Amino acid sequence: MSHELVQRLFLRYFDNPILARLDDAAVVGVSGVEFQVSGLPGPKPETRNPKLAFTTDSYVVSPIFFPGGDIGKLAVCGTVNDLAMSGATPLYLSAGFILEEGLPLEELERVVASMAAAAEAASVHIVAGDTKVVDRGKADKLFINTAGVGVVPAGVELGSDRAQPGDVIILSGTIGDHGMTIMSQREGLRFSSPLQSDCAPLHSLVAAMLDTLTPLPLGEGKGVRALHCLRDPTRGGLATTLNEVAIKSGVGIEIDEKAIPVRQAVRAACELLGLDPLYVANEGKLVAFAAPEAADALLAAMHAHEHGREAAIIGRVTAEHTGRVVLRTPLGARRILDMLVSEQLPRIC
């Protein structure tokens, strides 16, 4: 329904070539500008006539504290990750707070301290912000809006419309951890194996992936251009993200269910609650579409990084059944994975 709302209302009024791409971040060219960026991970960004990545997101997660993170860490990591999916080196964030009257000051301080720690870990600065207080009952404790700006290195061209037949699809790790953690906390569920959110900044993982491709000859489908698309499978989970890429690129996608890593605790929780982990949100995972020649190098770089140790090739892009995602089950059957048509887990980010 959110997808339809964007298509039928917002794009109808705000439509322009940059917005119409509907990637995790907008990439815009800036002419006549030169500046230096140092001390940040990844390939050295373009400093003359750079391409900038720009994104914004709002966070209304409930509860605001959960195993593995909180609304503050989530706000920083989520915005950093949206920038990283464009290949950008994140630089600056803004933070807007909507506070409900009566929110304990110690809870707010805990969130702000968490945001500061997450920003320091991601090597970004919070340089602008705003605070509003609403009447009691007009919000649920605390909402946060963030915007972020980063610089895209020269030669990096990523987008949901760039996946090509023959591409391998690489998932950086297990799915469903964040969504099921939020569900268990919200509903007071307890499992023998505790669930924990995968909330984490992925910019250094993306930088490592680009670093391993940078020395290769640059050309169409070579060097950093061998990496065609990065996506952050948050709302709607892995299945919805794959559907969005299939539609935007006009390709078909086939994935192998056995190749998709899912923690046993998450799988058990999903089975108990009748949910499909393929549609459960993630906050510290990425999906990469790359030329098959780059697959080994990318996997090696990801396995060497703390946020990519469980990375695996889960499928391929095909010229068949365009706009569709097909799942091969462990029994050898095939089924179509549709885009999520209703929200399994509301307010997970």
Using one digit for the tens of pLDDT, what is the confidence trace for 263-282? 999 999 898 888 999 999 99
147-176 confidence digits (pLDDT tens): 999 999 888 999 999 999 999 999 999 999
C-alpha span between 79 and 27 (Å, rounded)? 14
Q: Write the CB contacts of 152 (distance below 8 Å, at least 6 apart in sequence).
A: 27, 45, 46, 50, 51, 52, 53, 86, 87, 88, 89
Instruction: Provide the CB-side half-sphere exposure for 158 (13 A, CA).
Output: 32
Which pair of tokens denotes residue 8?
């039928």
C-alpha span between 30 and 217 (Å, rounded)? 26
CA distances from 307 to 173, 219, 302 (A): 8, 28, 7
- 280 or 349, which is more confident: 280
CA distances from 176 to 196, 261, 262 (A): 10, 10, 7
pLDDT of residue 43: 47
- 42 or 21, which is more confident: 21
Cis peptide upstream of residue 45 (ω within 30 degrees of 0): no
> Could you tell me the domains of the chain?
2-152 (3.30.1330.10), 168-337 (3.90.650.10)
Q: Which of 133, 120, 179, 339 is nearest to 248 (CA)?
A: 339
Classify the phi-psi angles of 141: left when phi > 0, otherwise alpha if psi is within -120 to 50, otherwise beta. Answer: left
Local confidence band at 66 (pLDDT 50, 70, 90 cut-offs): very high
Q: CA-based diameter of the chain, in Å?
A: 59
| The pLDDT of residue 35 is above 60 | no
Query: What value does the mean pLDDT take over residues 177-187?
Result: 91
CA angle 228-201-113, nearest 5°? Answer: 155
Q: What is the pTM of this model?
A: 0.91
204-222 confidence digits (pLDDT tens): 999 999 999 987 665 556 7
Where is average pLDDT lowest: 134-138, 152-156, 160-164, 194-198? 152-156
pLDDT of residue 308: 98
C-alpha span between 264 and 191 (Å, rounded)? 11
pLDDT of residue 41: 44
